[in-house]
Amino acid sequence: MTEVAHSNSLPPSALIFDSGVGAISIAREIRRLLPGLTLHFGIDNSFYPYGSRSEEELRPRIVEQAGAMMRASGADILVVGCNTASTLALPQLRKVLDRPVVGVVPAVKPAAAASRAGTIALIATEGTVNRNYTRDLIRQYGNGCRVINVPAPELVRLAEAKLRGETITARDLEPVLARIFHTAGGDRVDIAVLACTHFPLLREELDRYAPRRIQWVDSGAAIARRVSWWLDELKLAQPDKPGASRLLTSAVDEDRKILGAFAEFDPSPLNTV
Ligand code: DGL
């Protein structure tokens, strides 16, 4: 699709969809590249966490919820800022929406191409690790590397906690780090793919508490470049002044701490969709 009707009275905007604060890691990259773009955060927090839900319940939910949030926001582009959702529902979203849909693909290709040891770790939700989509990606772009799959649902919870002001300790990360480094072949891992958008939010801590230095790669910058490509394609110039932001949720957090988690983007008050 190349033609998108855009209301001239509204500045160009993208909606970043996720189950929670993972949208922030994607938004930071988009802001860096496209500071004038208005960002809508579409957070399906009443269905969080996505990673442990079945494909049967998650697929229709994502299509329905992302669709409702796109309609409510009037955004020009949908960014599925969630690997669990992207590896499951991109074709369906593209079928029902009349706007461009940008998805997050686990960064297996660049990681496998850059690994000197020929061993990478793929850290993700259980859903993403077990998807056919991910298996096909490894088969196609694994470059002959050994790929150690590391399901890490606790990192999702820890990222949510960190963005709500909690401190993440070495002890919190110990079990995940053991599943990367102290497993068969783990001594050879030189690159880890952060294949859940929540995980780049913990990069500093993962790096600090890992038993040795490795590279942690994610897809955020590539997503931002893709959004920029779509803006050009749609002939939507971003304004010179800093873009606004707005937070849409599917459930109002009881203590409203979710607003605090997104504070760096100074979003306008909560709307529930
Ligand atoms: N941020 C999401 C991802 O990239 C998933 C978090 C969740 O389990 O809800 O996969």
pLDDT tens string 103-123: 999 999 999 999 999 999 999
- Examine residue 3 and state whether it is found in any structural domain, yes or no: no
- Examine residue 138 and state whether it is found in any structural domain, yes or no: yes
- Examine residue 99 and state whether it is found in any structural domain, yes or no: yes
Contact (Cβ atoms closer than 8 angstroms) between residue 158 and residue 49:
no
- Examine residue 189 and state whether it is found in any structural domain, yes or no: yes
Residue 182 assigned ligand-binding role? no
Evaluate: CB of 134 within 6 angstroms of ligand 1: no
Residue 51 assigned ligand-binding role? yes
- Examine residue 124 and state whether it is found in any structural domain, yes or no: yes
Residues 6+ apart with CB under 8 A from 47: 19, 53, 58, 61, 65, 250
- Examine residue 115 and state whether it is found in any structural domain, yes or no: yes
DSSP reduced 3-state for 184: coil
CA of 2 to the centre of ligand 1 (A): 29
Judge if 118 and 203 occupy the same domain.
Answer: yes
CA of 266 to the centre of ligand 1 (A): 23
Query: How far, in Å, CA of 63 to CA of 210, rounded?
Result: 37
Among this protein's residues, is 145 annotated catalytic? no
Peptide bond into 49 cis (omega under 30): yes
Contact (Cβ atoms closer than 8 angstroms) between residue 42 and residue 73:
yes
The confidence band for 270, taking pLDDT boundaries of 50, 70 and 90, is confident
Q: What's the number of CA atoms in the CB half-sphere (13 Å) around residue 153?
A: 9
Query: How far, in Å, CA of 40 to CA of 19, rounded?
Result: 14
59 has a pLDDT exceeding 80: yes
Q: Which two tokens stand for residue 251?
A: 């459930």
Query: How far, in Å, CA of 76 to CA of 231, rounded?
Result: 9
Residue 84 assigned ligand-binding role? yes
Evaluate: CB of 162 within 6 angstroms of ligand 1: no
Residues 6+ apart with CB under 8 A from 157: 49
What is the average pLDDT across 225-247?
A: 95
Q: How many domains are contained in the chain?
A: 2
Q: Which two tokens stand for residue 262?
A: 């997104």
What is the average pLDDT across 176-190?
A: 97
Percent of the chain with pLDDT over 70: 96
Atom of ligand 1 nearest to the CA of 50: 9
Give pLDDT, residue 133.
95
Give pLDDT, residue 271.
77
pLDDT (tens digit, 9 = 90+) per residue, 137-157?
A: 999 999 999 999 999 999 999
Q: Which domain holds residue 155?
A: 108-218
Evaluate: CB of 19 within 6 angstroms of ligand 1: yes
Give pLDDT, residue 183.
95
CA of 251 to the centre of ligand 1 (A): 17
Whichever domain contains 265, its CATH number is: 3.40.50.1860
Give pLDDT, residue 268.
87
Atom of ligand 1 nearest to the CA of 18: 1
Residue 157 backbone dihedrals phi, psi, to 5 degrees: -65, -40
- Examine residue 5 and state whether it is found in any structural domain, yes or no: no
Give pLDDT, residue 252.
78
Give pLDDT, residue 9.
72
- Examine residue 257 and state whether it is found in any structural domain, yes or no: yes
Contact (Cβ atoms closer than 8 angstroms) between residue 209 and residue 177:
yes
Percent of the chain with pLDDT over 90: 88
Give pLDDT, residue 238.
84
Give pLDDT, residue 87.
96
List helix spans (H) across the chain: 22-33, 55-73, 83-96, 108-114, 126-130, 132-141, 153-163, 170-181, 203-209, 220-233, 257-261
Q: Which of 38-42, 73-77, 113-117, 254-258 has the lowest mean pLDDT?
A: 254-258
Give pLDDT, residue 272.
80
Give pLDDT, residue 2.
36
pTM: 0.95
Query: How far, in Å, CA of 54 to CA of 75, rounded?
Result: 28
Evaluate: CB of 198 within 6 angstroms of ligand 1: yes
CA of 132 to the centre of ligand 1 (A): 17
What is the average pLDDT across 253-266?
A: 83
Give pLDDT, residue 206.
98
Atom of ligand 1 nearest to the CA of 85: 10
79 has a pLDDT exceeding 50: yes
Judge if 212 and 225 occupy the same domain.
Answer: no
Please identify which of the residues 82, 145, 214, 223 carries the catalytic annotation.
Answer: 82
Q: Which of 67-71, 218-222, 248-252 has the lowest mean pLDDT?
A: 248-252
Q: Which two tokens stand for residue 232?
A: 């050009």
Contact (Cβ atoms closer than 8 angstroms) between residue 165 and residue 141:
no
Judge if 195 and 263 occupy the same domain.
Answer: no
What residues are paired with 97 via a beta bridge?
Answer: none
Evaluate: CB of 41 within 6 angstroms of ligand 1: no
Give pLDDT, residue 259.
84
Contact (Cβ atoms closer than 8 angstroms) between residue 67 and residue 271:
no
How large is the C-alpha radius of gyration of the chain?
A: 18
Evaluate: CB of 125 within 6 angstroms of ligand 1: yes
Q: Whose CA is nearest to atom 2 of ligand 1?
A: 82
* Mean confidence (pLDDT) of the chain: 94
5 has a pLDDT exceeding 60: no
What residues are paired with 149 via a beta bridge?
Answer: 122
201 has a pLDDT exceeding 50: yes
Evaluate: CB of 22 within 6 angstroms of ligand 1: yes
